[in-house]
Amino acid sequence: MLIESIWPDLAPARSIQCLNTLVHGLKTQFADALGGQPPVVHEQSQYVLNLAAGLRVDALEFESAVDAGDRLLSAGETTAAIRTFEHAVLLYRGDLTSGPDISALLESERLRAVCLTALARLADAHFELSNYEQALSYAIRLLGIDPCREDAHRMAMRSYVRLGARAQALRQFITCRQILAYEFEATPEPATEELFALIRVDPGGV
């Protein structure tokens, strides 16, 4: 329970009193911003955020934007999808702080995966529109979070080729291979090997 997490050493009656005091303080602090509405309300024996009052939660807005971007992309509205995904990734400021509860760690990892998917969507969409510098930028940003993502390495390789940097594309493959060997004692996927071979012999076919 919330009160047990915040005040583990207090008696139940005292911790409930502290929680009520905290909630009252939040209402006072946010009164002007929310037009007098409380930021937290009591519903069905529990406190919940008062989203109806206009309170915004970045994690919820982030997921909503990613979902909207996916819908736009499915509808063929690539440019609008890019704007929506870009808004989403701006909301993601890094992994959630995880506590001793395993559910917090799982939620942090889930949101991280959603962000990585959004970055991959952005890279793919920009590449489709021949915005190769932007595609490369998002691929590199994705790799900064998860350097083992081979789809991002392949996107970087393709983008480098389209930008006339064939040697850098080949070096990207070497980097990918070294990371996989170090992290997992694994080799690149066939698709990555095939792209490397194509870049070596026929970069114009990329």
First to last CA, the chain: 55
DSSP class per residue in 12-40: HHHHHHHHHHHHHHHHHHTTTTTTT--SE
Q: What is the mean pLDDT of residues 166-171?
A: 98
Cβ–Cβ contacts within 10 Å for residue 74, how many? 9
Task: Say which CATH topology domain 56-129 has.
Answer: Methane Monooxygenase Hydroxylase; Chain G, domain 1 (1.20.58)
Q: What is the pLDDT of residue 1?
A: 56
Among 145, 171, 146, CA closest to 156: 171
pTM over 0.95: no
Scan for tokens 């949101």, then name that residue.
111
Query: What's the pLDDT tens digit per position in 119-162?
Result: 999 999 999 999 999 999 999 999 999 999 999 999 999 999 99
Whether residue 35 has pLDDT greater than 80? no
Query: What's the pLDDT tens digit per position in 43-59?
Result: 777 777 777 777 778 88
Angle between helices 102-128 and 78-91 (to 10 degrees): 150
Average pLDDT, the chain: 90
Query: What's the pLDDT tens digit per position in 72-129?
Result: 999 999 999 999 999 999 999 888 766 667 888 888 899 999 999 999 999 999 999 9
What are the residue ranges spanned by the domains of the chain? Answer: 2-53, 56-129, 142-206
Q: What is the mean pLDDT of residues 9-14?
A: 79
Q: What is the pLDDT of residue 98?
A: 62
Strand, helix or coil at 43? Answer: strand
